[in-house]
Amino acid sequence: MFETGKMNCSNSPGAKPRIPRAGGQTLAGLLGLMMVLFAALPAESASRIKDIVDFEGIRENQLVGYGLVVGLNGTGDKLADGHFTKESMQSMLNRLGVQTTDAGLASNNVAAVMVTANLPPFSRQGSRIDVTISALGTATNLLGGTLLVTPMLGADGEVYAVAQGQVAVGGFTAGGAAETVTKGVPTSARIANGGIIEREVPFEIGNLDVVKLSLKNPDFTTARRIAQAINAFLGTAAAAPTDPKTVQLEVPASYRRNVVNLLTDVEQLRVEPDQMARVLIDEQSGTIVMGENVRISTVAIAQGSLTIRITETAQVSQPGPFAEVGTTTTVNRTDVEVEEDADARLTVFNDGVTLQDLVNGLNQLGIGPRDMITILQAIKAAGALQAEIQVM
């Protein structure tokens, strides 16, 4: 429980708050001017601090466990191939007082699975979390199965949650001897609220003297703007950027033992993030993403399309009727065609063109995404692209 500090409006008990009469109109005028200035700011380009930073200690923890799903309709693991499934069944039944033999384990209604989940920050004992189940062996479908009690371990090897329940599969498989139809992934499932938290991660945020804000996209300018916005709000130099990733905030005296209120006030402040000039390229899918600060120096671009088409046509050659000599044979015929785009034009981009100018110019040349990737890499090699190219 965090205690909320009380604010006194007077210096002595029972005194009524006094409003200065002489400066009332001046104060009202300043407030009105500030409201006009804030309204004139480009709100669409500013982001809340809570959307561009992560607060120290407020994070999830990943959990993992190994368990068994039972009740499958003949779509489970083949025990002859999955020895770990057979050993898990024997171990489970032995703990329940059932002595088993290898000859008695011939079920195909059981599947070995990996169970994963994220432990939310400040989770308390007894609260529930969602868990994800993924088949580990040769099971083909988890539809209709039930996950048995599965301990969920953290990175330190301790049990933080226990999962169990009816699995919900988002896909299915149906088919016969000649054709099979599969939708989604039937070997993956979820259990909503299927995990119960048994252990808490100790962290007291209310007693912190220093809070660190970690930028999701590290940048010197953005870190400085965040610190300036926080200091302007608090009226003191409490925040300072230590590197492009971190802004350190010292808890003011008015927020001592009440850091929750401090973070609530700070995360609503708006800052315009800065970004590097970067071009992201995914050659596998042909995706190109360019930032608004990408600039092009003076450069000329020409894109020509050369197509070579080779066609193989087999023809049958045979002797004439009643011929005494000759045999029927197959003769290969190859046809080679070379086509070059005659409409290819040379386009000149002047110094300092913007992203919109670049895209419009390349579109006028009729260039597709994959050809555009090659052109961007060539412009970068020529030293005319004032941006960083990152290939994903």
CB atoms within 10 A of CB 11: 6
- Residue labelled with tokens 């063109």: 353
Report d(CA 202, CA 306) in Å as an integer. Answer: 65
User: What integer pLDDT is reported at residue 343 of this predicted model?
Assistant: 57
| CA-based nearest residue to 308, from 338, 270, 274 | 338
Rg of the chain over Cα atoms, rounded to whole angstroms, equals 34
> Which residue ranges make up each domain of the chain?
61-173+182-197, 205-271, 278-315+332-391
Q: What angle do CA 136, 138, 143 make, to 5 degrees?
A: 80
Report d(CA 73, CA 141) in Å as an integer. Answer: 9
Report d(CA 134, CA 150) in Å as an integer. Answer: 13
Contact 274, 267 (CB under 8 A): no
Q: What are the b/e assignments for 204-224, b being 16+ CB within 10 Å?
A: ebeebeebbbebeeebeebbb
Report d(CA 268, CA 145) in Å as an integer. Answer: 45
| CA-based nearest residue to 152, from 119, 127, 125, 191 | 119
- Residue labelled with tokens 């006030």: 265
Q: Where are the alpha helices (DSSP H) in the chain?
A: 24-40, 49-52, 83-95, 220-234, 259-266, 355-364, 369-381
Report d(CA 189, CA 300) in Å as an integer. Answer: 54
10-residue mean pLDDT series, the chain (392 residues): 38 41 44 43 72 90 96 87 81 85 76 95 94 92 94 95 94 73 86 95 86 93 95 94 94 89 93 85 78 75 59 71 73 66 57 66 70 79 80 78
Pair of tokens at residue 116? 């994963």
Q: What angle do CA 126, 128, 132 make, to 5 degrees?
A: 140
| CA-based nearest residue to 117, from 152, 142, 159, 81 | 152
| CA-based nearest residue to 247, from 227, 272, 219, 271 | 227
Question: The domain 205-271 is classified under which CATH number: 3.30.70, 2.60.40, 3.40.50, 1.20.1070?
Answer: 3.30.70
Report d(CA 101, CA 104) in Å as an integer. Answer: 5
User: What integer pLDDT is reported at residue 34 of this predicted model?
Assistant: 45
Which helix H or strand E contains 166, and what residues bound it? strand 159-166
Report d(CA 92, CA 111) in Å as an integer. Answer: 13
Contact 195, 128 (CB under 8 A): yes
User: What integer pLDDT is reported at residue 338 of this predicted model?
Assistant: 56
Contact 376, 385 (CB under 8 A): yes
Side-chain half-sphere exposure of 32, counting CA atoms within 13 A: 6
Which helix H or strand E contains 150, and what residues bound it? strand 146-153
The model scores a pTM over 0.85 = no
Quote the crossing angle between the two packed helices 259-266 and 220-234, to the nearest 10°. Answer: 120
User: What integer pLDDT is reported at residue 193 of this predicted model?
Assistant: 95
Which helix H or strand E contains 85, and what residues bound it? helix 83-95
Which helix H or strand E contains 84, and what residues bound it? helix 83-95
Helix (H) and strand (E) counts for the chain? 7, 24
- Residue labelled with tokens 């929750």: 260
Report d(CA 219, CA 277) in Å as an integer. Answer: 12
- Please report, to the nearest 10 degrees, the dihedral formed by the alpha carbons of residues 29, 32, 36, 37 taken in order: 70
